[in-house]
Chains A and B, each alone.
Chain A
Amino acid sequence: MSEALPLTEPAPGLAREARTRGVVGRLLRTPSFLIGITILLFWAVCAVFAPSFVPYDPYADDLLNTLQPPSAEHWFGTDQIGRDVFSRVLVGARAILTIAPLATLVGTVAGTAIGLITGYFGGWVDAIIGRLLEVMLSLPLIIVALLVLVALGPSTPTVVVVVGLVFAPLVARTVRAAVLTERHLDYVAAAAVRGESAPYIMSVEILPNITPPIIVEGTVRLGYAIFTIASLSFLGFGVQPPTPDWGLAIAENYGVLIGGFWWTVVFDTAATASLIVGVNLAAESLQRALAE
């Protein structure tokens, strides 16, 4: 960002549009972005359409065919109560790809609001809220989430809100830093002189200028949201049975791993790893493209 805006400022909307086009062009030439976005799109398609094309009902048990190894009928084998692992892995994208983006949205919106307020007002508002956020950050995220989920009971809306709010302090820290660099620029002073209200200055004047760091923070958070929610599901405080979910399936089946029934967990493990790596590849490339 510039130190002082020139007096004859080119229409900011046009400049921003050209910048956006440059970023998109750079991204489409980045191999790691293309790989990441392809993986993400694959799982997104599964999340939306898999229930209509998978070979078996992911909820249907078959007690005569439990723990069957992969075969022509069951490509990924069957689990402990005879459910088709292939169908459950594909449909399993749905829960995580619903909860994680929603939680990211909650965290980004809440964190942006907090960051704008603390960065803009400064002083004691910043000191008090800043200290509270630091306390939140001094506990491992997963433990904070656990604490609240125990108190409120795990349900999809609760997981979304809790993971979102746990991420808010991290987003707030980034946004606050961005606001501080904008805070003393001429256009903010000009708006204040015009008599604009603080909410107007924060949302209409400052916010559009700090969107790149917020977008980067949001995509990075999405990766961590998937990480956190999958871990919570694994611990029994996220997605609840019998919903097909990767973390949940691993928790239910890793006990039989030592018996050699590897197919009950390996595909869910690979699915989780691929989605997280995909999101992070895309986020990392986006961050670089915006920084250039």
Chain B
Amino acid sequence: MSGALGPFLLKRLALSLLTLWLLSVVVFFGCQVLPGDPARAILGPLADPRAVAALNEKLGSDRPPVEIYLSWMGGLITGDMGQSYAYRSPVAPFIGSALVNSLKLAATVFAIVVPLGIGAGVLAALRAGRPIDRLISVAGLSLTVIPEFVSSIALILVFAVLLRWLPLSASWPAGSGPLVQLQHLILPALPLVIVLFGYIARMTRAGMVEALSADYTRTAILKGLPWRTVLSRHVLRNALLPTITVIAAQMGYALGGLVVVESLFRYQGIGSLVLGAARAKDFAMLQAGILTVGAFFVVTTLLADIVTTLLDPRLRTGGRR
């Protein structure tokens, strides 16, 4: 750890904070300014103007936008995310439990797709140009473009309706152990695995091919190191750096994909929370849900940058040269 690393990370942290702040402005603009009149949007075009005015006052949306924004930000800092219009209770507890559920689903997705994608990418690179390489890239490319709801239907048909191997619903009976929970999570996780597999495999393959043809690999081989050591200490270490960034970027995408998957499998996560809030025009909930997704993405990207920096020997020893 040296001097070069500190300022770099500080700069990244400052950029992340700036992104978070801009994100809050964008989300606020979308939820408060764009609808024009939140109470009118909730009550519909035929509602009594007095009822609209009363609801606007109750929601606090009759104040100037800047004032609403400041009080919203003030609340966020103290952990108060506002009141849900649809549930008539504070938003924060809903966000918390939904986020935990979504993270369980996301963890299942990544526990399956990361080893699978990296394994396939490494295999493809080691057998570059052979049929197995072409099979992996064609499969990856064509699976990546299939929308989650399309692959979900195919998976439901095969595994829940025809074979009856996996339960259709993602929500498990209350008090189920982790194994039963996992069994319920596999089917909803697979559509996202299908979408993400191609990206991870492609990035890994590209990184591997580059590392395999690099000078340091040739040097390591010529030094007489065993192939296993060359592969694990020289090739993989360098090849997987870009893959880590891609995996982190896909975390954010996965949370977006969860909107579709969670609603299809009726799973109480952040995605179905955002969708439900959108359908009920529950703007406080929508605002908090979307900001949570965005914040999550910003944090994973930052973490990926930090991990990449720590793993990259060039960046790590930069200050000592």
Question: Which residues of A does B touch, CB under 8 Å?
Answer: 131-132, 134-136, 138-143, 146-152, 223, 227, 230-231, 234-237, 247, 250-251, 254, 257-258, 260, 262, 265-266, 269, 272-273, 276-277, 280, 284
Asked whether any CB of chain A lies closer than 8 Å to the CB of B165, the reply is no
Residues from chain B with a CB closer than 8 A to the CB of A151 are 30-31, 34-35, 41
Report chain B residues within 8 Å CB of A262: 157, 161
User: A272 with B150: in contact, given A147-B27, A262-B157, A280-B141 (CB under 8 Å)?
Assistant: yes
6 further contact pairs, Cβ within 8 A, besides A140-B256, A277-B146: A237-B278, A247-B147, A258-B160, A262-B161, A276-B150, A280-B141
Interface contact B148-A257, CB-CB below 8 Å? no
By a CB distance below 8 angstroms, the chain A residues around B149 are 230-231, 234, 247, 250-251
A238 CB, nearest partner CB in chain B, Å: 12
Interface of A is mostly: helix
Stretch at the interface among B51-59, B88-96, B119-127, B294-302: B294-302
Partner of B294, one of A138, A254, A265: A138
Tell me if A138 and B19 are in contact (CB < 8 A).
Answer: yes
Contact (A257, B31) CB under 8 Å given A142-B259, A277-B142: no
Interface centre among A146, A150, A236 (most CB of B within 10 A): A150
Complex contacts, B275 vs chain A, CB 8 Å: 146, 235
Counting chain B CB atoms within 10 Å of each CB, the highest count among A223, A237, A254 belongs to: A254
Cβ contacts under 8 Å, B157 to chain A: 257, 262, 266
Q: Which residue in A131, A148, A247, A273 is a CB contact (below 8 Å) of B30? A: A148
CB <8 Å contact, A284 and B141 = yes
Cα separation A141 to B293 with both chains bound (whole Å): 12
The B96-154 residues at the A interface (CB cut-off 8 A) are 141-142, 145-150, 153-154
Q: Are B153 and A254 in contact, with the CB atoms below 8 A?
A: yes
When the two chains form their complex, are residues A141 and B256 in contact, meaning their CB atoms are under 8 A apart?
yes
Partner of B153, one of A136, A140, A250: A250
Chain B binding surface, main DSSP class = helix
Q: Of all chain B residues, which has the CB nearest A259?
A: B161
By Cβ-Cβ distance, the 7 closest A-B pairs, closest first, are A140-B256, A151-B34, A147-B30, A135-B22, A151-B35, A150-B278, A234-B149
* Closest Cβ–Cβ distance, residue B311 to chain A (whole Å): 23
- Quote the shortest CB–CB distance from A100 to chain B (angstroms): 12
**CB closest residue in chain B, given A251:** B149
- Structural contact, B148 and A143, CB atoms closer than 8 A: no
